[in-house]
Amino acid sequence: PNIVSLRVLLLSYACVLLSPVGAERWCSNSPKDIIFRRLGTKTPYRHVQNKDVRSIATVNGCTVSKIWGLFRHGTRNPSKSIIDHMRTTLPELQRDIMENGQICRDQLDLFEQWRPRVTVEEAKLLVREGGEELLHLGQRIRKRFGKHIPERYDDSTFRFKFTKTERAEYSARNFSHGLFGREEPIQYPEALRRDPVLRFYKGCEKWKRQVKQNPYSYREMDRFGSSKEMRSVIEKLSKRIGTFVSPEEVHAIYQTCAFETAWSDRDISPWCLLFDKESISTMEYNEDLKYYWIDGYGYELTYRQACSAFADLFDNYDNERSPRFTFYFTHSGTLLKSIAFLNLYKDIEPLRAENLRHKRKWRVSHIDAFGSNLYFVLYKCSNGTQSVALYHQEKLTHIPGCPEDAPLCSYDHFKQLYADRIQQCDLSTMCYEPLVPSREKDEL
């Protein structure tokens, strides 16, 4: 850490040491309300889902012609690095809490009972809750569109595809089970690690180098890490735990709170009890900054490459012989870049470290929870025209650039919005990154 960061940490530590011995114990009130829709990309789908399944298959004389959608996999286990923290860092903090923690007695009992529930061998695997999320999602789409979706699978009518990951594969299988109400012998195309439609950014070397691996891309998040708001979170958690905690430990606590919340609606993770509404909102904003600059509007290349997914959409809609129902099962990175490609949830000003108090549209807890989805419905209308509707998190969502006052957008108008970007969509050119000496490294 730099000198400023070290000073911040020392000041925080001093605050803990100077706290009165008989300090009032912290007792979290309504913890489920405090964390609701504030868990970043690890937010469970039940926090954002639309349970309203009233039929919307017929709109002003229009009937469903095609559906094309992107679906993020359901709730999974953490990465190996977070599991390592769960199994090493958190048990040490658990002991500190039991010996010196300043939290109320009944909540202290929850910490005493806590044990790590996952091993590194289970990293990133889909969990039962994740399977249920996609199963129920398939069931609701069936109810919503009713007779417009055939009851039996046919490979000329349906196309299901997933990335080469266990979590995406079993999300697809659970979704199809919910859609058909039974196990169907579905033909899945070969899963690819660098799928140019489902996970286009995996093959984009220029984006990896100039955005994802570029330290400059993390500037706002790093600046926010030494802000007074983040210092306040560190101080609060240090007092409640009874020992100084580092920013890395605070992040591990937040991630554990999120995953254990996503895994089950029945129990509250004791690690969530350490946060108040202000501190959890601060952690959420830290997530928003990260994903805004890496997967969102921070750099044009990030979302411009999503053209490959939408080229697939238009190819499907324009070809009468293409399957009527296309369901792709993918990841957070694809959903967020696609959201930015569509100009959804775009704030007037870029997200900055100092703008926590500003109202914002870009909130990954809302727009990129586990199981998040974007699907487009093409309608054929009685007057011979075609219209399109967008559903995000199963809610009818206005397409930026389309008329504000109509639920559907003319397909011709919709197509024109993206015509230039689709026409210029050449990933091999867009993503080509010549090798250059490190001293000439671009900073975007």
**HSE-CB for 145 with a 13 A CA cutoff:** 26
pLDDT for 223-249, tens place per residue?
999 999 999 999 999 999 999 999 999
**How high is the pLDDT of residue 4?**
42
**Neighbouring C-beta atoms of residue 66, cutoff 10 Å:** 21
In order, the DSSP letters of 165-209 are SHHHHHHHHHHHHHHHSS-----PPPP-TT-TTTSGGGG-HHHII
Q: What is the mean pLDDT of the chain?
A: 92
Q: How confident is the model at residue 258 (pLDDT cuts 50, 70, 90)?
A: very high
Mean pLDDT confidence for 113-122: 97
Whose tokens are 């007779």? That residue is 147
**How high is the pLDDT of residue 18?**
39
pLDDT at 386 over 70: yes
Handedness of CA 86, 91, 96, 99 (dihedral sign): positive
Q: How confident is the model at residue 17 (pLDDT cuts 50, 70, 90)?
A: very low
Structure tokens at 326: 């296309």
The closest of 165, 201, 189 to 307, measured between CA atoms, is 201
Q: How confident is the model at residue 267 (pLDDT cuts 50, 70, 90)?
A: confident
pLDDT for 289-337, tens place per residue?
999 999 999 999 999 999 999 999 999 999 999 999 999 999 999 999 9
DSSP 326: E
Mean pLDDT confidence for 332-351: 98
% pLDDT > 70, the chain: 92
In the chain the domains, ranked by start, together with CATH numbers, are 34-431 (3.40.50.1240)
**HSE-CB for 233 with a 13 A CA cutoff:** 26
Beta strands 325-330 and 158-162, pairing class: parallel
Q: How confident is the model at residue 29 (pLDDT cuts 50, 70, 90)?
A: confident
Write the CA distances from 84 to 76, 118, 254, integer angstroms: 16, 10, 14
Q: Say what the pTM is.
A: 0.92
pLDDT at 16 over 70: no
**How high is the pLDDT of residue 435?**
64
pLDDT at 436 over 70: no
pLDDT at 13 over 90: no
The closest of 343, 333, 341 to 72, measured between CA atoms, is 333
Q: How confident is the model at residue 24 (pLDDT cuts 50, 70, 90)?
A: confident
Structure tokens at 375: 């699907």
Q: Are 11 and 226 in contact (CB under 8 A)?
A: no
**How high is the pLDDT of residue 406?**
84
